[in-house]
Chain A
Amino acid sequence: MAKPDYLHFLIDPNRCIGCQACMQACSECDTHRGESMIHLEYLNRAESVQTVPVVCMHCNQPTCAEVCPADAIKRTGDGVVQSARKPRCIACGNCVVACPFGVPEVYEDRKIMMKCDMCYDRTSVGKKPMCATVCPSQALFFGTREQIEQLRPLSTPVNTFQFGQQTITTQVNIMVPRRLATVAPLVDVTAAMEEKPKSRAVSLKVVPVENVEDDPFAEVEV
């Protein structure tokens, strides 16, 4: 069984309300029951209520797998990068250091790396992942391209990311606004209390898609 290829996972941090339903639901997942594999952080709670949920981005060329000395991290043919395999993982933490998104974690008590596997027990049988099912703001979404286009006209999915010299393409998409928001996100009440507030617009730099080479291993089961 595999995750159907017409279903896609996307993250829209703009929608996130920080409620932690995703984390609470993640810990109910059968492959890592009792532990949440989602990182949900305030960017800076002192200055904003903005939170960002991070699940495994499921890279097409997973850095975690590339740096693993024990060859414990496998990417299945459907593009899902699995948690470390039990007999192989030596809990060295290379993957933790190398992952550009900061996703894997080593569980010292069990001597193993665990991370989001896109609820493989659910997605491989056609269900949605727990987090994207429960997410009340649908900042985490799992569905078809058509649904994404119909439901999210204001933003566009991006799955190419630049980290220094490294360009990474991923199975999971981040939703990026098509246009800069007309109103910058509110960070300080006092700005809204003033007659003439200062603008605090934030600009995002999206990596141009034409610069990205096709992933030669996209279809290869590693």
Chain B
Amino acid sequence: MAEVPADPLRIIEKFGPHLSEMTGVRLSTSVEPERLVKTHCCFCGQQCGIQLKVRDNQVIGFEPWEDFPFNRGMLCPKGVKRYLQGSHPDRLITALRRDTSSASGFSPMPYQAAIDRVAAEIGRIQQKHGAGAIGVLGGASLTTEKTYLLGKFARVCLKTPFIDYNGRLCMVSAGAANKKAFGIDRTTNPWSDMVGTDVIWVAGSNVAECSPITTNYIWQAREQGAKIIIQDPRITPAARTCDLYLPVKPGRDAALFAGVLQIMIERDWLDHTFIDAHTSGFDQVAAYCSEWTLPRTAEMTGVPQRALMQAAEWWGTAKTSFLFHARGIEHHSNGVQNALGTINLVLASGRIGKPKCGYGTIVGQANGQGGREHGQKCDQLPGWRDISNPEHRRYVAGVWGIEEQELPGPGVDAYELFRKIDRGEIKGLLSICFNPKVSLPDNSFVTRCLEKLEFFTAIDFFLNDTAWHADVVLPGSLHEEDEGTVTQVEGRIIKINKAVDCPGDAHEDWRIIQDIAQALGRPHGFTFKNPREIFEELRLASKGGVADYSGVTYEKITQNMGVFWPCYSEDPRTGAAIDDHPGTPRLFEHGSYNPVAKGSGPFYFPDGRARFNVADYRDPVDDASEEFPIYLTTGRVVSQFLSGTQTRRIGPLVKQYAEPKIEMHPRLATKLGIADGEWATVETRRGSITLKAQVVTTIRPDTIFIPYHWAGPKSVNQVTVAAQDPISKIPQYKVCGCRVRRAKAPPEYAAVLEPQQ
């Protein structure tokens, strides 16, 4: 039913990606903006403050916002050019319906007719196949208000358990590990705590390209004496001058952490007082680590013994420290264990819950933190509540004015949701802010699933590659066309401010969701007049949960330049109403009180103790083998964001790094007979991809790297493996076995597609 309705080249011709450039008023130096709107960048979880220049309902440029404390005016290239996503030739300004008689595959239709059609099809499918035959996919670049509304919409209006989001590809390993170890899922300290530490350990994070502003915090820490340890299969720009580089073999992180902890145990570089007073489970972890002798760890990880020793000594003997990790260790079928491995190192050192003693995970998406707290994740309800916990269910059902029994139970992760489509269990899909056809692994499977759908609705501002399969496309809102809150990497809730109105028939996403609810005849609970009203209900729904936002107001956020959750409206000790709670920049401080431990300790478990968890090493699924002897790893480049729906449409960013390349070491290239700039083909068990080679000494000779932001024949996720972590269900993007050969001829796409297409 939902096959692509026209020749892909014709769809691209009409809907892009085409490039926006600085032209007209955006190039003129004589046109003054009418106003500057203080808001944030829409790309990545750092959420840098920025001011947008606005004139005639158009964003015409930017001005640094030097007062915002996190980035103080600093921006990466994406932030500088973000304003070029507005007034874009590819912008969807009407609803579209699939129309095979149209050359481009789609025809415009009136907005209300589109809403009615979507509601009618959802109604038809649910009547015939049950409520659970409709799936909903959300995204972590949406404001928290939208993610809250989407979760409520799925459960209350559609009555389906099957909602999940693209944070499944991003934050879930870290989240699950944090939950197991701390009982709360948030970076523990503000970034400013990095400066003044003895040592910073960066595990699997290409900071310079994926979270560029963090670079200055690291460099500033180094200026003030910190040693920098970076663990990565590539010499990333931050690794180039680090004090200790751990060239880990892809997929071996848990072994590395176990081996380092074993050295710390042997040398007694441990904080016994902290371990005894504030943790449990250390003995089991120590027993496990004893298997990880130095030679075995070096052999397994590809990191020499001297470097492992050095890391253990620096980490073990430091007085202050910060450890953070990102997708490099999380995007694995062993992702939760990898993250737990880092937490074990932190807990063994006792350096947490104090100034200059921090642990954190760098969120990838704009609202990677807030987007996972308030109900679009398949197993969660607002306030980081558990959808399987009867007490949590009763509370949220009460806020929503429904019976607890009416509330669906846990759903399934985003990839499993596609497997359900494949099996015919889910027949209708509503997606927003998610481009799984580019971003999920083994994406030819995703394409086959999309083709099986009886009815697919996509809400988006550009026609992304997944939306090609849609029966109806509803024109949504860009970041600058709506207001709301997001929660950035440090756990700081910030305010996104509206700069311009939606063009044409485009609507704010929350209005679209409510319009569907209205058309379905179930408007109860979906009559909010603005994002502020949604936020007010969210405050109530999160109250008493671990992610308690109840003391946060739009005014407080603006006044304080952000508020760190938890921020209470009632004193958790006494229950007395308070309106001036300042938020919680640093978690687990000595003597701190939380509603789970109720004073028994700083961590979010009834006994107040943090948990050591055995962080078991397992070989990656589809590991390198005789047949596929090279490791394939994937990631980002600094000028692109996620599946490129926005950034592949911004001319100056495309110019910076136009097309994906295969990074390989000269030793490997020589062996394969491939020269820099030549076409090469990478094959895995899923298929093959042909791109140009970039021969550099800055990557392990047994590993190749390909960035993932491109679509169709340039999408590396054609060949990645759909293996998932058993706990977090994150896909294993960071390693699979492959083989590489010199291509006999350029690929067919080279002659017909522009670089960004």
Please give the residue numbers on chain A whose beta carbons come within 8 Å of chain B beta carbons, in ascending order: 14-21, 23-25, 27-28, 30-31, 33-34, 45-51, 128, 130, 133-138, 151-154, 181-183, 185-190, 192-195
Contact = CB atoms under 8 A, between A and B. Distances in A.
B187 to A, nearest CB: 19
B665 interface: yes
Nearest to A50: B240
Which of A30, A45, A193 gathers the greatest number of chain B CB atoms within 10 Å?
Answer: A193
B3 interface: no
Interface string B294-330: 0000000011111100000000000000000000000
Given A19-B209, A136-B212, A190 B75 contact: no
B84 to A, nearest CB: 10
Interface stretch (B7-15, B220-228, B431-439): B220-228
Nearest to B676: A46
Contacts of A135: 74
A103 to B, nearest CB: 21
B519 to A, nearest CB: 43
Contacts of A34: 22, 27
Contacts of B304: 192-195
Contacts of B81: 24
A21 B698 contact: no
Interface of B: 22, 27-29, 61-62, 64, 66, 73-77, 79-81, 208-209, 212-213, 215-216, 219-220, 222-224, 233-247, 302-307, 638-639, 652-653, 656, 665-667, 676, 694-701
Contacts of A17: 208-209, 212, 215, 237-238, 638
B222 A27 contact: no
A45 B699 CA distance: 12
Nearest to A183: B243
Which are the 7 A-B pairs with shortest beta-carbon distances? Answer: A17-B208, A136-B212, A17-B237, A188-B697, A24-B80, A24-B77, A134-B75
Contacts of B241: 14, 181, 183, 185-186
B245 A192 contact: yes
Given A17-B215, A33-B29, A153-B224, A138 B74 contact: yes
Contacts of B235: 48-49, 186-189, 192
Which of A16, A18, A48, A49 gathers the greatest number of chain B CB atoms within 10 Å?
Answer: A49
15 contacts: A17-B238, A17-B638, A19-B237, A48-B235, A48-B240, A133-B73, A134-B80, A136-B213, A136-B215, A152-B223, A183-B244, A185-B240, A187-B235, A188-B698, A193-B303
B29 A133 contact: no
B240 A49 contact: yes
A201 to B, nearest CB: 13
B456 to A, nearest CB: 36
A20 B696 contact: no
A181 B306 CA distance: 19
Contacts of A45: 694, 696
Contacts of B61: 28
B652 A133 contact: no
A99 to B, nearest CB: 25
A47 B237 contact: no
Nearest to A137: B215
B700 A136 contact: no
A186 B240 contact: yes
Nearest to B701: A190
Contacts of B28: 33
Contact of B80 (A18, A21, A49, A187): A21
